[in-house]
Structure 1
Amino acid sequence: MSYVNKNINSNAFLLSLFECAIDEALPYGHIAKYLPDDKTGKAIVIGAGKAAASMAAELEAVWQGELQGVVVTRYGHTVSSKRASMSSKIEVIEAAHPVPDAAGQAVGERILSLVSELCEDDVVICLMSGGGSALMSLPAEGLTLSDKQTINKALLKSGAAIDEMNCVRKHLSAIKGGRLAKAVHPAKLISLAISDVPGDDTSVIASGPTVADSTTRFDALAILERYDIEIPTAVFRWLNNPKSETIKPNDPCLANSEIHIIATPQSALEAAANKAVQQGIPTYILSDCIEGEARDVAKVHAAIAKQIAEKGQPFKTPCVLLSGGETTVTVKGTGRGGRNSEFLLSLYNELQGHPQIHALAGDTDGIDGVEDNAGACITPDSFIRGQQLGLNPQHYLDNNDGYHFFSALESLVITGPTLTNVNDFRALLIMPAKK
């Protein structure tokens, strides 16, 4: 395919791909096909996640019968926008993310109460998406919210992968790791999920409240030990109690339960790739499930991009490289920023203003870490401007301060809450060398 736009605005182009990926990850048009043919009955709705408000709105749009229930989302993620209207039948509550708060605990208690004492004729629809682990946080027996907050904060700084963090969260919860499904039983349970985890493992999405869990309490203890996390006495005692075990595969309480993934990182990347190809630029998806330290993942991306730019291997220019997944950041500094800003700052440092390479990295929920930006973008000119401003990228990287670095360059990507979440989105545009 020929390159049809030699005068492309790289930032606008990459932003359009990001927007396309986000739109594909929204629940609109993706829910009805997973519901029963008869949508005229009564259903109880529960759920948690950054996409909870948009999922609730879409469910209301396609369900013809009576709906009642409650879902919880992150503060600021129930706003009406071009992407979603407010849910009117399903109550939407806001709580804290990524560290849980009392509001998340209270809604967890409400959800358990709502699904208690149901019968086989009842139908429960559970809407889950990324962020649900923190947003629906109900401590296990003998634990306090403070215990969970302490562990959560330590895990977030440790560099632990999302499946490791959620393994611990499941075993410290009264509602995750399949326990919500046990509470719903024997009612019919339909879980709909937007995947934000590498490999689309449903037991990891929001810590799998309605699915079986194959990890054990001993795995949770080993993870805390691996990352040298101080364990509160109550947590140590609980994890050494057999009652802390989660619901395992083939448990009878799961017999009347089903789960469907309605949007994935891969589908979002494919939508972005199709958009780029429509504009005449060959596009290659490296992977939808990349993990590892953000700064190290950036070094690999930089090496591949330079190989393409300078040697035409394994692809010719122009082209776009896309990737997704969930990287991690081991926090050692005191700066601001999330994993996408960290990735891009490391990439910036590796590329040193390479004249052919442009890039964007952003979180599809619109929030990089806990900041107000989704991520950032760079062009070859960014390096020159950084030098003119006296910015030392390694200094900012050492301090985990990607936010202030890209703020100084005026290259933050700010979308606001997108009302969905399929995790990281990375796009590198490699142009032909100028003659």
Structure 2
Amino acid sequence: MQAEQARALLHDMFQAAIDAAQPSGTLAQYLPPPPKGRTIVIGAGKASAAMANAFEAAWEGPVEGLVVTRYGYAVECSRIEIVEAAHPVPDTAGHRAARRMMELVANLTADDLVICLISGGGSSLLPLPLAGISLEDKQAINQALLKSGATISEMNCVRRHLSTIKGGRLAAACHPARICNLLLSDVPGDDPIDIASGPTVPDPTTCADAVAIIRRYSIDVPAHVMTVLASDAAETIKPGDPRLPDIRTSLIATPRMALQAASRVAERAGIPVHILGDAIEGEARDVGKVMGALALETARHGQLFQVPCVLLSGGETTVTVRGNGRGGRNVEYLLSLALTLRGEPGVYAIAGDTDGVDGQEEIAGAIAGPDTLERAWRLGIRPQDALSANDGHGFFEALGDAVITGPTRTNVNDFRAILIAR
């Protein structure tokens, strides 16, 4: 297979993964019957505006609501208000929207229905700190968590216990209305409590868990915030709470669905596919080393898988930022993978976030091939130095190998594919 063909196939697989997670193709089948009373739509996340648009197309009755999405991810709706706010670090626009959302669901009745459209990114888009904690406190803690190497589950545990809207608190505010959660998963394992920090599902974790995570990663948290975390006010809504009796939760798109869609693209090209997992976590560079070793063993000896083949994986790795680079877990993974492969002939790879944003950059990820390291050396770039500086984005941008999708308006976590073509 020629290099151009290999790269085109990887791009097509990534696009198929993104397309499979579009709410327009999946949401309608999960809608409940209309209620006797009002229908209120609320939601947050990178895909929430697209979800609201798909809901309006499928819902014939009256509806009102408010959904918060990332800047640049708005989709026009006629009955549901769409607000844009900041991600991954929250801002005042998200703070105002979160407060308005809590007001919108106040004073509902048992005849009313609340449709909750939740996707990844909702944690930063719904910042509503507990009393005694400022938005600036949450911004600083969020920044520290993003650089700490904590898993998404650990980060969201801390976020839930600093919030008056996450960890089931939004659902409690909707009581006694019926709640229908439509979730688009971006987390390993698809646990609803970790999707946007679970604003409309009960939370089994505790304040003690949050404090343990802060200490585990040496997060610099002000003393007054720790005081709040030690109080009863910081505890989230637990399973069995009488305010959450009537909640139905459906996953309308998941990382596994995206990997399966990409798999079909490769199989149509006559190349067998092996899905290694949709919930792989760990330091991005370590995952890159392991995946590189698997690819080398397959390419050189054919003992793990027969060649040609594609190795697919998903999940959410982490980057502990120690250098002066821009981070980005997909590009860090891919650079580590390339260093492990050392130009192995016939092996190509792509890694990208299905939301189009890797870390804090408007870049989905990158693509690598047998010539990646050689081209970098010719430009005077030292790949190992770039990895040490956490500068995967700078590295692949210099080679012209960054993958830029623009806003995809969906989010089912990271996509990784290794094509072993010889």
Query: Which category of TM-score, normalised to the shorter sequence, fits these structures?
Result: over 0.9
Map 1:219-298 → 2, pairs under 5 A: 219-298=209-288
In structure 1, the residue matched to 2:50 is 54
1:210 aligns with 2:206: no
Aligned CA distance change for structure 1 residues 7 and 238 (closer, same or farther; 3 Å): closer
The separation in 2 between residues aligned to 1:337 and 1:174, in whole angstroms, is 30
Instruction: Give the Å deviation of 1:29.
Output: 2.5
Of stretches 41-50 and 418-427 in structure 1, the one that deviates more from structure 2 is 41-50
- Provide the C-alpha distance between the structure 2 equivalents of 1:100 and 1:36, rounded to a whole number of angstroms: 32
Match of 1:253, SS state, is coil
> What SS does the corresponding residue of 1:290 show, helix, strand or coil?
coil
The match for 1:200 among 158, 173, 190 is 190
Which runs of at least 4 in structure 1 moved beyond 3 Å after TM superposition? 5-8, 37-42
Q: Could you say which residue in structure 1 is the equivalent of 2:65?
A: 69
Specify which of 153, 161, 166 is matched with residue 171 of structure 1: 161
Task: Give, in whole Å, the separation in 2 of the partners of 1:39 and 1:361.
Answer: 43
Which residue in the other structure is 1:110 paired with? Answer: 100
How many Å separate the matches in 2 of 1:427 and 1:121? 47
Cα deviation, 1:123-146, whole Å, max 9, x if unaligned, reads 111100000000011001221101
Aligned mate of 1:379, from 358, 369, 384: 369
Q: Distance in 2 between matches of 1:176 and 1:360?
A: 34
- Secondary structure at 1:198's aligned position in 2? coil
Cα distance, 1:41 vs structure 2: 7.1
1:364 Cα deviation (Å)?
0.3
Q: What SS is found at the alignment partner of 1:46? A: strand
Deviation at 1:383, TM superposition (A): 2.3
Give yes or no for the alignment of 1:95 onto 2:85.
Answer: yes
Once the two structures are TM-superposed, the CA of residue 249 in structure 1 deviates from its matched residue by: 0.8
3-state SS of the aligned residue for 2:23? coil
Kindly indicate whether residue 149 of structure 2 is the aligned counterpart of residue 153 of structure 1: no
* Number of matched pairs: 422
2:399 equivalent to 1:409: yes
One-letter amino acid of the structure 2 residue matched with residue 423 of structure 1: N
User: Can you list the C-alpha shifts for 1:183-231, whole angstroms capped at 9, x where unaligned?
Assistant: 0010011111100000000011000001111110000000000001122
How far apart, in 1, do the equivalents of 2:390 and 2:40 lie?
Answer: 43
Aligned to 1:82: none
Q: Is the 8 A contact 1:167 1:207 kept in 2?
A: yes
- Corresponding position: 1:36 with 2:36: no
- d(CA) in 2 for partners of 1:292 and 1:238? 30
2:35/2:111 contact within 8 Å kept: no
Structure 1: how far apart are the matches of 2:280 and 2:215?
A: 24
1:113, 1:363 → 2: CA distance?
34
- Structure 1 gaps of 5+ residues are 79-84
Encode CA deviations 1:356-382: one digit per residue, 9 max, x unaligned.
210000000001111121000011122
Matched, 1:27 2:23: yes
Q: Is the CA contact 1:49–1:73 (under 8 Å) kept in the aligned structure 2?
A: yes
- The one-letter code matched in structure 1 to 2:101 is I
Give distance in 2, aligned partners of 1:71 and 1:400: 34
Query: What is the TM-score normalised by the length of structure 2?
Result: 0.98
1:38 is displaced (CA, Å) by 4.1
Counterpart residue type for residue 359 of structure 2: G
SS of 1:308 mapped into structure 2? helix
* Identity %, equivalent residues: 57
RMSD (Å), alpha carbons: 1.3
Report if aligned partners of 1:39, 1:65 keep a CA contact under 8 Å in 2: no
